[in-house]
Chains A and B, each alone.
Chain A
Amino acid sequence: QQQVRQSPQSLTVWEGETAILNCSYENSAFDYFPWYQQFPGEGPALLISILSVSDKKEDGRFTIFFNKREKKLSLHIADSQPGDSATYFCAATSGGNYKPTFGKGTSLVVHP
């Protein structure tokens, strides 16, 4: 059973557009949601994260919108740049049983 689901599997946008990456989860106990960015040949690196007590988290061009009732969240990348082309993973965990569970990722391509 996939506890964390991501969509779309792949996404292509033009430079300057906003890319929207979606994530949903099953376990109501999840309360911490980090997003990781992975470039080819590299390990994942934390991009931005949100706790379930918040409904929005911004960091520069990256914003997470969180809907606890619907168990959904999304990562918005504003003014997308070709350098943002990477695979983005949504993860979820709970403080009481901290074991990060990852989605299958969204592969983002930003065309110049």
Chain B
Amino acid sequence: GALVYQYPRRTICKSGTSMRMECQAVGFQATSVAWYRQSPQKTFELIALSTVNSAIKYEQNFTQEKFPISHPNLSFSSMTVLNAYLEDRGLYLCGAWTGSNTEVFFGKGTRLTVV
């Protein structure tokens, strides 16, 4: 079956430091990968969308300078949170899918705590 693995599951970093999180699609070829941040209030914020053969598109309020993403192949994506601060706390979810109007497979997320 199609699965998406994210690691680490949770991480704690000091304010002003950076941390990298990874996402791996297993059992299918992910033509698109989206990174979301889910706030403690459960709201989803789309950070960026990465589609094969296209440039990574960042949503308003999110930049490549702050959240650089690497998507080297159809099964792997990584995102770094640079200079993390309290407002960056949350559950970072990776969703991957093939084509359009199809199921988005989510990982279990990386929970970032900033102290």
* A positions within 8 Å CB-CB of B: 31-32, 34, 36, 41-46, 49, 51, 87, 89, 91, 93, 95-96, 98-102, 104-105, 107
Contacts and interface: CB of A to CB of B under 8 A. Distances in A.
A102 B100 contact: no
Contacts, number: 53
20 contacts: A32-B101, A34-B104, A41-B108, A43-B4, A43-B93, A43-B108, A43-B109, A44-B93, A89-B44, A93-B100, A93-B101, A95-B100, A95-B101, A98-B97, A98-B100, A98-B101, A99-B49, A100-B34, A104-B41, A104-B42
A98 B93 contact: no
Contacts of B46: 99-101
A99 B34 contact: yes
A45 B52 CA distance: 23
Contact of B108 (A42, A87, A89, A102): A42
Contacts of B49: 99
A49 B107 CA distance: 19
Interface string B88-113: 00000101010111011111110000
Contacts of B6: 43
The 7 residue pairs across chains A and B that have the minimum distance between CB atoms: A43-B106, A102-B44, A98-B100, A32-B101, A43-B108, A95-B100, A105-B42
